[in-house]
Amino acid sequence: MDRVKGKVAVVTGGASGIGEATAKLLAREGASAAIVDIDDVNGQRVAGEIQNAGGVAAFWHMDVTREEEVRQAFAGIYDKFRQLHILVNNAGIAGPRKPVHETPVEEWDRVMNVNLRGAFFCTKHAVPYILKTGTGSVVNVASVYGILGCDTPSYDTSKGAMRSMTKSDALIYAKSNIRFNSIHPGNILTPLFRKLAAVIDPVGVDNAIRKLSVSNPLGRMGTPEEIANCILFLASDESSYVTGIELLADGGMVNLPFPVY
């Protein structure tokens, strides 16, 4: 308990999946959780559930692709809490399963705008407040597919670029006592996965889960809570000498002799 007590944490994409699990865990460990998302209904639900459990949380509507919305949301968060210690850049979308020569530029840009440009905007507008606070940690939620590659070029590219951006920012802001690290989940059983699996696998969601579980060294998919635990470590002072790393949370996928999807 109290591993991030007294800290203020912003979690983007906090209305479901990894973001929801992260916001709830950070709040249980003592942080004030600022949940941002375009999903107002579930964002308010998550904030309410944290409050009902005795934690501190509030929700802000924010589209990470719109810089003015991002600027206003972070200004509002700072006005409310007067501090900012933790940013979790979690908001993201999946990309089309198409080769590059069949990918419309609009689909490519949409993935880049949410996954990469969004993380850039949030970092840009969070850092000045973290500098005022005096110390902080930024955790970028990337993907194992930003390292291995898959059959979703736009998604893989966005997450690979997030990995590189993390390392650059870690060097730039080290002297300002702001740490930057990325986490690279494998196949995680989130609401978004269930939605996509129902479309991708003609047999159904359960069959998609079975195939991905069989091909994983640990023999199963991961859970949002398991990724939240890793994010908590990177966000907390327990990782005070850790910056610029990529933390793999993929059940061992990256160690396979060749990727199996």
Helix 17-28 vs helix 224-235: crossing angle, to nearest 10: 50
Taking alpha carbons only, the member of 227, 29, 15 closest to residue 142 is 227
Q: What structural domains and CATH numbers belong to the chain?
A: 8-186+223-251 (3.40.50.720), 189-221 (no CATH)
Residue with token string 């809570």: 225
The H or E element containing residue 88 is strand 86-89
pLDDT above 90: residue 255: no
Closest CA to 22 of 162, 224, 178: 224
**Which residues have a catalytic role annotated?**
155
Which of 191-195, 199-203, 222-226, 237-241 comes out lowest in average pLDDT?
199-203
Q: Which pair of tokens denotes residue 58?
A: 């509030």
In tens, the pLDDT along 17-58 reads 999 999 999 999 999 999 999 999 999 999 999 999 999 999
Distances in Å between the Cα of 83 and the Cα atoms of 75, 80, 134, 141 are 11, 9, 9, 22
Distance of CA 43 to the CA centre of its chain: 15
As a whole number, mean pLDDT of residues 111-124 equals 98
Give me the helices (H) in the chain, please. Answer: 17-28, 40-52, 67-81, 105-112, 118-133, 153-173, 191-200, 205-214, 224-235
pTM of this prediction exceeds 0.85: yes
Helix axes 40-52, 17-28, angle to 10 degrees: 20
Question: Minimal CA–CA distance to 92: which of 148, 139, 58, 142?
Answer: 142
| pLDDT tens column, 99-117 | 999 999 999 999 999 999 9
